[in-house]
Amino acid sequence: MMEKILLRSKFRGSLLGALVGDCCGAPFEGQLMDSGTKIVLRNNLNKLEGPFFKAPFKKYTDDTAMTKCVANTLLDPNGYSQKLLAKNFVLEYFKDPRRGYGAAVGDVFDKLRKTKIANPVGPAAEQFGGNGSYGNGAAMRIAPVALYCANRDKSELIKLVQESSLITHSNTLAIHGAVLQALAIRQSLLCDPKEKFDGLSFLQQLKTDIVELEKSNDPDLDAHHNAYEIQLSRLQNLLEGKIEPSDENVLNMLGHSVEALHSVPTALFCFLKNT
């Protein structure tokens, strides 16, 4: 019984944590973080810890809207399908399009609606000269897939991540970023809170998994076939202190853009550095 209670708590924490991060981070998205902005951000976050803290409601963005779609589709009584997820994405977008959706994903949903979702992955695959989007959007909404696959084989997790990602992001770098994020969430779920957390061991397991995934791609077809292995090696050097983990070094080495390759590893570093 205790294990079920703990697992339920972790499920809630994963989803609510993503929601809080979305709502609190959205006002600062795209801003240059000078010293003054950092102080404002830190003060706002510190206030959240107070039991009597009150503030205006924060709006959630497209990331939370699509996360809800993923969760609801996985729990659909008629069963999950890629086409159903695409349909739910489209319905959510046209119901409430002012959530910060990018122009590219808006074009995808527009084409999906016009074609009645004849091919759920077709419009995304056509974007950017056929290279597809390499942004972090698929990773941002992936938490429900990780939770759904908590007690399932990793191969099933990866398959579901790929299916859900391809609707909007067909580029390998975007998909692998979503897989890395999902694996990290799944691995966190399996951690025993009674044991001391070992960040380096946690990272090494992720690195092993992502190397195996990247090796499954044909390096002759993908110029970035080991891109995440390189990023996780840099992350490890920062975490171990071989390179000073200053803000400047972290941003220069891992990145802080909307590209999955230059944001998912950075988010992972922040988690491991502060856990």
Residues 47-55: contacts with CB under 8 Å, at least 24 apart: 48/20, 48/24
Structural tokens at position 163: 């299916």
Tokens at 131, concatenated = 């290279």
Residue 83's nearest CA partner among 48, 115, 40 is: 115
Rounded to whole angstroms, the maximal C-alpha distance in the chain is: 58
- Any known ligand binding at 63? yes
Compute the distance between CA of residue 224 and CA of residue 246 in angstroms, rounded to an integer. Answer: 27
Is 110 a known ligand-binding residue? Answer: no
153: annotated binding-site residue?
A: no
Q: What is the 3-state secondary structure (H, E, C) of 184-220?
A: HHHHHHCCCCCCCCCHHHHHHHHHHHHHHHHHCCCCC
* Binding-site residues for Mg(2+): 61-63
